[in-house]
Structure 1
Amino acid sequence: MSALLEVAELSVTYRAEGGDVNALRGVSLMAEAGEVIGIVGESGCGKSTLAAALIALLETNATVGTGEVRLNGRDILSLPEAERRKLRGHDIAMISQDPMTAFSPVLTMGDQIVDFQQHSGLSRAARRARAADMLRKVGIADAEICLRRYPHELSGGMRQRVAVAAALMANPALLVADEPTTALDVTMEAQIIHMLRSLRTEINGAIVIVTHHLGVIGELCDRVYVMYAGQVVEEAPVDDLYHAPRHPYTQALIACDPGALGAGQGVLPTIPGRPPDLTAPPPGCGFAPRCPLADGTCHSKPPPRVRVSAQQTALCHKVVS
């Protein structure tokens, strides 16, 4: 039986003045119903482009070169736009990075959440009652008051809770959360992570968490895909990734996590160098110029995908199965 979500060899380029940017280069992943997967990497690795592809909402200057995004067996990227619109808000929902820009500033939260349920077939009064119930589930006690507020009248944390509630209203098969805690302070970030963890049982489908924050991955995810320079360089269950990372980039990324540095332990490590220019991707491994293990083969030949275990793979010449 096929997975609920399958991405197969997806390549996406952006047209730009300096040349076409190869944002995704042969990305593959999968997620089963009830599973939470994480997509992690530094800025520019392609994770937000992948998130946009998962909801079939790529920018107008983006071109899908190869690959598919299959939801319940259907390639959503090949569907007409009218069918994609029906999927969004019904089978697919998204929690965006910035809760302030996720809502219209001229409509109340209630009007917007009610409108998000257009495909439900319920009356407007019933949709409003459902919205109030969902707001209470995400920790907003004064739900009716919140529904009458405009976005600017709510704090960042409250807006993000409303965004989560809006995404859950349709009971989607796929929920994509793109940097769901980026715009929040540390205290509110912890509250949102706790809320998302407690709401896992509310979602019958798959959840994809897109973030640069390793702490979020560790708290929420079952499996992780590590991205670098438009490629998935490592895939592993979350515990294996933290305790036995195999790709040199994953090892370096975890070493740079501020959460891993104790008091008085010195300077936080960094990864030297810069990611490659994706208008002209290197012929070999994208991480080779920054990798302490790289040799001539790494610089000149594309790395193989090595299966380390039944659930862990790494895209690297230096990793052995």
Structure 2
Amino acid sequence: MGFKINSAMWNSIFAVPACLVDEHLTRLSGQQLKVFIYVLRHNDEDVDEKKISSGTGMSVADVKDAMSYWISEGIILRDGDSFQVKNEKQTEQKKQKEKSIQTEKTKTATTVIDAPVIQPTYEQIAARLLEDTTLKALFNEVQIKLGRTIGYSDQAKIIMLHDDYCLPPEVILTILEYCIKNGKPSLAYAFAVGKDWANEGINNLDLVDEKIKELRADERMWKKFEAMFTVDPPRYTDFRFSFLKKWRNVNKQSFELIHYAYELTIEKINKPEFRYMNTILESWKANDYKTPEDVIKDKENGKNNSQANGKNNNVRNFGNGNNKKGNGNNKNISYDSEKVRLSAQAPIEYKRRQRNGK
């Protein structure tokens, strides 16, 4: 059983481009199809986002997002605040103007210029996709990896990574894969990562692979540190990890020693202050302590030496016959130490107390 349109509806019609069905229908969301049909119906009018919102029952934000698909495909053109379905009679002059704008943004070197990056407009994105077919393929790959269509904001971020930060498509896709595997399937996050890496000069696959290996090693380092705790491990922050990386990679200190410094820090100041830990660990590095046992052993030796020194001081004070009253080196001594010593060694003599002088 097939379906047909009621012939009574043919009193008023408008044409639909065949490419809508042949190329786009399988990829479209309901909202993208609605905005296209509405603009197509009113193609000879000035149609802005508010009118499309009113005519389709969609919010203005949803209209913008849905419209970005058609603009990126070059099917709908934006003229100021209004939209029109692409006309094959579009002037060559407008094309050349859009192309010249993008030509100025084309990369001329592999380094990133330290200048403000301006988000491209709808028209500029559409022009770039017409100029560079690899960008269109990149958009499709991104949509496959994210499992959804991408709107204007996401498209603009991809264009900026490619044109302004000089990252090739394969690098952008690798960065996106890394973010997705880290549980952050967001182009906003991927853009921030890509921007930072580009500014570090990481702009090819070899450098990206090295960076990802380094980050994976960092993740393993922090997880191993966390595994030292049975309860309440410290929360990860970049600031804290910078200390851990220094202790492990520069000071070559063991996780056991670092964990012991953490316990002492909690004992002393009752909070996980990594700067306080750093003071402890730097002191241990200066004393060449390798393990917690080294710290404990040296602490015990210090106590024993302190006790021994205390005994020696007592012997010097009370067992030296030279410390007699009147000796020039000890003028302030008010007792005869030799007399005290002899008195202490003499046999104990008991005497009965006499009453009334008897």
Q: Which has the higher helix share?
A: 2
Larger Rg: 2
Fold conserved between structures, TM > 0.5: no
Q: Which has the higher strand share?
A: 1
Scaled by the length of structure 2, the TM-score of the pair is 0.22
Scaled by the length of structure 1, the TM-score of the pair is 0.24
